[in-house]
Amino acid sequence: MNKKILGIVAASLATVGSAIMAAPAHAQVATIDVELEVQPSIYLVTYSKLKFLVNSNDILGANFLNNTAVYDEKAGTTTLPPGELPALGTTLSPITKQITPLYRVFASSGATVRVNASNPTLRRSGTGASPTDTVTMEVADGANKTIAPNLSTFVDGNASLRFTFPGPSAPPVNAMYTGGQLQISVTSP
């Protein structure tokens, strides 16, 4: 009985298949143009965070080591001269930090690199910090650079950042200032 059912199904399929194959086909054909545009390649290599150390030489602009006296028992010069601290209340010079290199760029079609302080204000953090206790950052050198088309190497870019303490006072000892942000943008024509 199973063989009879299979035979009927096979004959039915053969008949329907012949009818389908014999029926005229209606079709549409479309030809589509295809384009592929390769954009200029840009690769940027840089740091995820910049951490600077500021010491007394940076803040005061000089080396405050006074070792000019000679200790000589025979000559009777055994007195160490008094130390002299820098005067508080004097306006501090801005501190400049050089980053060499700050970034590396590969740009197959050339590029323009811009470096700017997207958030120029660093605030003192920690115990006793005041919201007005800030340092201002600006890009002093290396803000813009044009890179020629290049297919083989990375090009380094340097920058100098200038940090300015507000008002005529020395910065606090052991202070941490955070929150500033530097932005590097690379655009290709």
Helix/strand/coil percentages in the chain, nearest 5: 15, 35, 50
On whether residue 11 sits in a domain, the answer given is no
Share of the chain above pLDDT 90, in %: 48
User: Which range marks the domain in which residue 157 is found?
Assistant: 42-61+86-187
User: Does 120 sit behind a cis peptide bond, omega within 30 degrees of 0 on the bond before it?
Assistant: no
On whether residue 100 sits in a domain, the answer given is yes
pLDDT score for 91? 64
In the chain, the number of structural domains is 1
On whether residue 157 sits in a domain, the answer given is yes
Burial class (CB in 10 A: 0-12, 13-18, 19+), 165: buried
Average pLDDT (114-128) is 91
pLDDT score for 36? 96
Alpha carbon of 139 to those of 96, 114, 116, 162: distances in Å?
9, 10, 6, 6
pLDDT score for 172? 62
Phi, psi of 97 (to 5 degrees): -120, 130
Global pTM exceeds 0.85: no
On whether residue 31 sits in a domain, the answer given is no
Continuous segment of H or E residues that includes residue 43:
strand 42-46
Structure-model confidence comparison of residues 24 and 158, the more confident one = 158
Burial class (CB in 10 A: 0-12, 13-18, 19+), 168: exposed
**What confidence tens digit (pLDDT) does each residue in 28-73 have?**
999 999 999 999 899 999 999 999 998 877 776 665 666 777 888 8
Structure-model confidence comparison of residues 95 and 185, the more confident one = 185
On whether residue 97 sits in a domain, the answer given is yes
Q: Which two tokens stand for residue 86?
A: 């820098």
On whether residue 160 sits in a domain, the answer given is yes
pLDDT score for 79? 82
| Model confidence band, residue 12 (pLDDT cutoffs 50, 70, 90) | low
pLDDT score for 22? 53
On whether residue 183 sits in a domain, the answer given is yes
On whether residue 21 sits in a domain, the answer given is no
Q: What is the CATH number of the domain that holds 141?
A: 2.60.40
